[in-house]
Amino acid sequence: MSTASTGVDTASHCPYCALQCAMTLTRVSTPVDVTLSVAGRDFPTNRGGLCKKGWTAAEVLSSSDRLTEPLLRTEDGTFRPASWDEALDFVAAKVHEIREESGPDAVGVFGGGGLTNEKAYQLGKFARLALGTSRIDYNGRFCMSSAAAAGMRAFGLDRGLPFPLEALDDADVILLLGTNVAETMPPFIGHLEGVRSRGGLIVVDPRRTPTARLTDDGAGLHVQPAPGTDLVLLLGLAHVVLAEGLADLAYLEARTVGLEKVRRDVAAWWPERVQSVTGVPVATIRDVARRLAAADGAYVLTGRGVEQHADGTDTATSAINLALLLGLVGSDTSGYGTLTGQGNGQGGREHGQKADQLPGYRKITDPAAREHVARVWGVEPEIIPGPGVPAVELLGELGVPGRIRALLVHGSNVVISAPDAGAVRAGLRALDLLVVSDFFLSETAQEAHVVLPVPQWAEEEGTMTSLEGRVLRRRRAIDPPPGVRDELWILSELARRLDAPGRFDLDAEAVFDELCRATAGGPADYSGISYPLLDSGAAVHWPYPTGSTGTPRLFRERFAHDDGRARLVSVRPASRPEPAGVDGTLTLITGRLLEHYQSGTQTRRVAELAEVHPHMEAQLHPVAAERLGLTDGDLAELTSPSGTVQALVRLSPDIRHDTVFLPFHYPDLESANLVTRSDTDPISGMPEFKRTVVQMRLVQANLVEARNA
């Protein structure tokens, strides 16, 4: 006879990507413990489906190495358990000492795109009021910053998808630029079935990914440019649109400014010249432009592959220019969007974690914005610090004399996720104080002086904002382990110890209500949203000012600039280093695997996921492997000026012969970001993740065979 029993179901959403697939969590009680089972729930984005990560999401909750008590580093470098009072008293005293000696900007804060809206909001408020620091940024800088910067300057507003995801179902043509949705958010591909049946899916990617293979058998077209040449390709497409009279001139006249400057710039990028840079045939360039122009419903969507570059903002801008030239943006049947990656990548960047923003996507340099937020916080505007610095620059200040001496990390694992990760680890070790709030002893937490255990996704209340700007409820389905404390409680306790002005609520709903007041009148206005509204099941897309019914589709009648017009922004390719191929070098591009997520802190702890790819593998073309003396199953070393990593060689014809691909989910010598560069986009602060020139050599032949033996 079974001793298990089931309890009340909880409607929730997946903890991983920004698709935020709906799921039902059911409590399963046994004499030993209480666990959760997962079932897909009907919802517009996932329609009841989940990916491997979603189906196994509950397993992470009961992982054997879960943190359940604060840890303090001892003099011999090990950790010892501590009470919450001891840990927080230690942190507060050390922060007070550092601020007194070196000023408030000697204390930094690093947040995450997986935090709930409430925690992201409270973290930004805590940094500016309790710490008084301008040094706050978050890992969304590594994900969405270029697309956000491009959207702000073109439209005056940034929302990943300014239309519901379901709108893609009826498209005739969809241009996917640098995104592998079949692996990063698998339920998304259900929205591509219609366009595939019409032969209209166009995927731009240097690799023949599972997404690119969706174009097989007449379903569309795979375009395979050289890494880092996406901007030139987009300029070439715009050239064809204008040269062949395919632009929507009436739309451009009525709704945009800047056409003539863009026209002059793209004139220099005729298809033959574009082919010489990108490797994409002239006929393909013309075909893509003509397909987009002829479609009754066309969408241009960008992802990290074209954005994670030192010219990522200009590349995303060029994609927007193409969409504007064709009159797609603001239409009921067409559009432009960018695919937000992290679970709360959209909400996480709206409410105060970014170095230059206040809640509601307000600019921290805007006096009216500062006045409004200060009034909600109950403080004078003058005490709110000015803008800080973006993530890579912030991490570069760690341990530097006269710069950052202490860092508080929430919801991020920078030792794995940041570029030039070896330098980041050295910076962390140079700090006088590193405090990490996490539910596992992540690679970053292992470097900390203080580790604070916090709840996981199914153990907390809050809200998330999906890739389509839809605000969703996260509900507690199970209690966290004894000894674990919520970040809202931690921030409140630290604020009290630091004599912070303002109020720091413990209750998620109270924090959300304050967030809504703080965003009122801002670009990302949540003021008409409440927990009861979200709990009613209503579709809630921001902006949602008081008295409105929300905004599923943005830009129907006007853009967010004062004159209501979109900006066509002139962009030109910058001078770039010579491409790989000289002296046996390769261009490294990094990305995600189907089974893993971000730094792998969670998914590497799920046996079903970890067993598929237990080690980092380097995808390499057989021609490149032959040139380098490598074979399938070898252990190889990849080296750049930043560092060295090791990976198993996996040969595949699905990648260009001048390129190597590494997933970025692994620790130690398998951490791909040990070799990536810290160069950043001058506008967005986005790191150059997709274009690192590396040398590759054999370390051990036939390692896979040796392991199997």
In order of start, what are the domains of the chain with their CATH numbers?
5-62 (2.20.25.90), 71-141+352-457+483-507 (3.40.50.740), 145-338 (3.40.228.10), 582-708 (2.40.40.20)
Q: Which residue has the tokens 């929302």?
A: 159
> d(Cα 4, Cα 14) in Å, to the nearest integer?
24
Amino acid at 418: A
Q: Residue 156: beta bridge partners?
A: none
- Residue 260 burial by Cβ neighbours in a 10 Å radius (0-12, 13-18, 19+): exposed
Query: In this predicted structure, what is the pLDDT of residue 1?
Result: 31
Query: In this predicted structure, what is the pLDDT of residue 2?
Result: 37
Query: In this predicted structure, what is the pLDDT of residue 576?
Result: 60
- Write phi, then psi, for 175 (nearest 5 degrees): -100, 110
Query: In this predicted structure, what is the pLDDT of residue 35?
Result: 85
Neighbours of 402 (CB within 10 A): 10
Runs of H (alpha helix) within 78-144:
84-102, 117-125
Query: In this predicted structure, what is the pLDDT of residue 340?
Result: 85
Query: In this predicted structure, what is the pLDDT of residue 159?
Result: 94
Runs of H (alpha helix) within 529-629:
531-535, 607-610, 622-628
Closest C-alpha to 599, from 372, 445, 374: 445
Closest C-alpha to 98, from 391, 410, 433, 408: 433
CB 17 within 8 A of CB 345: no
Query: In this predicted structure, what is the pLDDT of residue 416?
Result: 96
User: What is the total residue count of the chain?
Assistant: 709
Interval 365-411: pLDDT, tens: 999 999 999 999 999 999 999 999 999 999 999 999 999 999 999 99
Query: In this predicted structure, what is the pLDDT of residue 92?
Result: 98
What Cα–Cα distance (Å) separates residue 451 from each residue in 68, 80, 398, 405?
10, 10, 18, 17
Amino acid at 292: L
Closest C-alpha to 241, from 130, 303, 323, 142: 323
- Write phi, then psi, for 73 (nearest 5 degrees): -75, 135
> d(Cα 479, Cα 475) in Å, to the nearest integer?
11
Closest C-alpha to 407, from 127, 73, 119: 127
> d(Cα 287, Cα 594) in Å, to the nearest integer?
31
CB 228 within 8 A of CB 532: no
Pairing type for strands 586-591 and 659-663 reads parallel
CB 688 within 8 A of CB 677: yes
> d(Cα 166, Cα 470) in Å, to the nearest integer?
13
Q: Which residue has the tokens 């010892």?
A: 80
Neighbours of 501 (CB within 10 A): 13
Closest C-alpha to 181, from 298, 303, 292, 299: 303
Q: What is the DSSP string of 294-359?
A: H-SSEEEEE-HHHHSSTTHHHHHHHHHHHHHHTT-TT-SS-EEEE---STTHHHHTTTT-STTEET
CB 27 within 8 A of CB 476: no
> d(Cα 663, Cα 97) in Å, to the nearest integer?
41
Query: In this predicted structure, what is the pLDDT of residue 582?
Result: 59
**Residue 709 C-alpha from the chain's centroid:** 40
CB 383 within 8 A of CB 398: no
Contacts of 10 (CB under 8 A, 6+ apart): 24, 25, 26, 27, 458, 475, 476, 477
Three-state DSSP class for residue 63: coil
The H or E element that residue 488 is part of is helix 487-497
CB 300 within 8 A of CB 526: no
Q: Nearest-5° angle of CA 46, CA 18, CA 348?
A: 150
> d(Cα 251, Cα 222) in Å, to the nearest integer?
29
Dmax over CA atoms of the chain, in Å, equals 78
Neighbours of 128 (CB within 10 A): 28
Neighbours of 572 (CB within 10 A): 14
- Write phi, then psi, for 341 (nearest 5 degrees): -95, -60
Closest C-alpha to 238, from 228, 226, 246, 227: 246
Would residue 437 be called left, alpha or beta, if left means φ above 0 and alpha means ψ between -120 and 50 degrees?
beta
Q: Nearest-5° angle of CA 12, CA 14, CA 16?
A: 150
Sites in the chain below the pLDDT cut of 50: 1-5
Query: In this predicted structure, what is the pLDDT of residue 706?
Result: 62
